[in-house]
């Protein structure tokens, strides 16, 4: 709690009022542009101690939107009260938190102050984002169904290469449609239980090679020397997604040679993805499998490694950075057979 002595005899009453408020509340002196009061919820919300917050001004909490803040405070003084849904507060850690701010002009000891109550909008915005994603997923699924019909027609083409390409397109579209359908059914992007089957690493490599664009084929060599000897007991589509993300990351980082090497360790398959890229920056190595944790290349969302890690854990397995440096990077994927995975196996935080 911060309350300057100039509040006089009203100080104790205001302290009680502030502490009884559930939401973060701040008292601002608009003439001096400083905080003169804040409750415990405000200190916790912003991450400052009362002593630290006492040295700050509203502009330091909203440094990125000072004109909007000035307009807000002016409206409060003109109208007596005002509300804004477009402000965001910067915490001590530097995070910008979207907030709804309701403010009222109050008179204490013959002086004007602005009493602001802040409501965290993160849950509201996440809910809105979720609804938008579901709408997008619904329309995307319908669009891909049309693409599936076109691939069915191409399967009847006289050219065998066209028919082979049509099969690849059909499988890719089916994979995407299932992902969309799963998101719509459960209302989230949580991965479903693996649909295990037995297949050779060579079958997976054939589809991975076919999915690389012509421009990438011209500058990237990809090999898997023992793929025909390695059998997996896993979800084909999910393992395809794991390796696709690793390969795409390597290509984006500037790799020219990628090796996928499989082996067996007891009742699990081990797959190493090796590249000759420039290596991972030391600053991101500790948070590779968190969303936006990777700094390889440009133009990505930072989700690739997080998705790959989650899919590995979904199998009861794991994905780890084995080594990285100026001569390249190696990721190791462990995938246990279905019989070796306990029923309680699942995802945990990276």
Question: Nearest CA to 227 among 249, 268, 251, 199?
Answer: 199
What kind and span of H or E run contains 192?
Answer: none
The residue ranking higher by pLDDT, 258 or 143, is 258
pLDDT in tens, 250-291: 998 899 999 999 999 999 999 999 999 999 888 788 888 876
Q: What average pLDDT score do residues 17-44 get?
A: 87
* Mean pLDDT (whole number) for 146-156: 75
d(CA 350, CA 254): 26
Integer-rounded Cα Rg, in Å, for the chain is: 28
Residue 319 pLDDT exceeds 80: yes
Question: Residue 300 has what pLDDT?
Answer: 47
Tokens for 171, please give them.
């499988």
Compare 143 and 237 and report the one with higher pLDDT.
237
Q: How many CA atoms lie within 13 A of 6 on its CB side?
A: 13
Residue 129 above 80 pLDDT? no
**What digits encode the pLDDT tens for the residues 332-344?**
999 999 887 776 4
- Number of DSSP helices (H) and strands (E) in the chain, helices first: 11, 13
- Residue 303 CB: number of other CB atoms within 10 A? 16
Check: CB of residue 117 under 8 Å from CB of residue 89.
Answer: no
């Amino acid at each position: 709690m911060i309350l300057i002595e100039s509040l006089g005899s009203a100080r104790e009453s205001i302290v009680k009022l502030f502490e009884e408020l559930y939401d973060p509340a701040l008292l601002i002196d608009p003439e001096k542009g400083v905080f003169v009061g804040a409750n415990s919820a405000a200190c916790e919300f912003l991450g400052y101690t009362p002593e630290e917050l006492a040295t700050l001004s509203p502009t330091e909490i909203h440094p990125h939107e000072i004109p909007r803040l000035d307009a807000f405070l002016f409206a409060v003084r003109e109208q007596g009260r005002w509300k804004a849904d477009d402000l965001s507060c910067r915490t001590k850690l530097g995070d910008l938190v979207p907030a709804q701010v309701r403010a009222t002009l109050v008179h204490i000891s013959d002086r004007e102050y602005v009493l602001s109550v802040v409501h965290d909008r993160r849950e509201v915005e996440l809910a809105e984002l979720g609804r938008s994603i579901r709408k997008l997923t619904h329309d995307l699924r319908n669009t891909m169904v049309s693409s599936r019909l076109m691939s069915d027609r191409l399967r009847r083409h006289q050219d065998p290469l066209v028919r082979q390409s049509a099969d690849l397109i059909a499988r890719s579209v089916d994979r995407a449609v299932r992902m969309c359908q799963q998101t719509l059914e459960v209302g989230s992007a949580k991965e479903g239980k693996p649909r295990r089957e037995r297949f050779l690493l060579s079958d997976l490599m054939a589809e991975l090679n076919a999915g690389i664009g012509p421009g990438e084929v011209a500058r990237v060599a990809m090999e898997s020397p023992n793929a025909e000897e390695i059998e997996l007991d896993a979800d084909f589509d999910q393992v395809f997604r794991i390796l696709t993300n690793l390969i795409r990351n390597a290509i984006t980082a500037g790799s020219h040679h990628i090796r996928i090497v499989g082996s067996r360790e007891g009742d699990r398959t081990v797959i190493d993805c090796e590249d000759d890229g420039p290596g991972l920056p030391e600053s991101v190595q500790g948070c590779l499998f968190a969303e936006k944790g990777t700094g390889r290349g440009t133009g990505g969302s930072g989700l690739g490694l997080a998705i790959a890690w989650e899919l590995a854990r979904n199998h009861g397995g794991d994905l780890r950075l084995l080594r990285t440096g100026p001569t390249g990077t190696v990721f190791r994927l462990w995938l246990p057979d279905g019989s070796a995975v306990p029923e309680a196996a699942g995802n945990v935080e990276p």
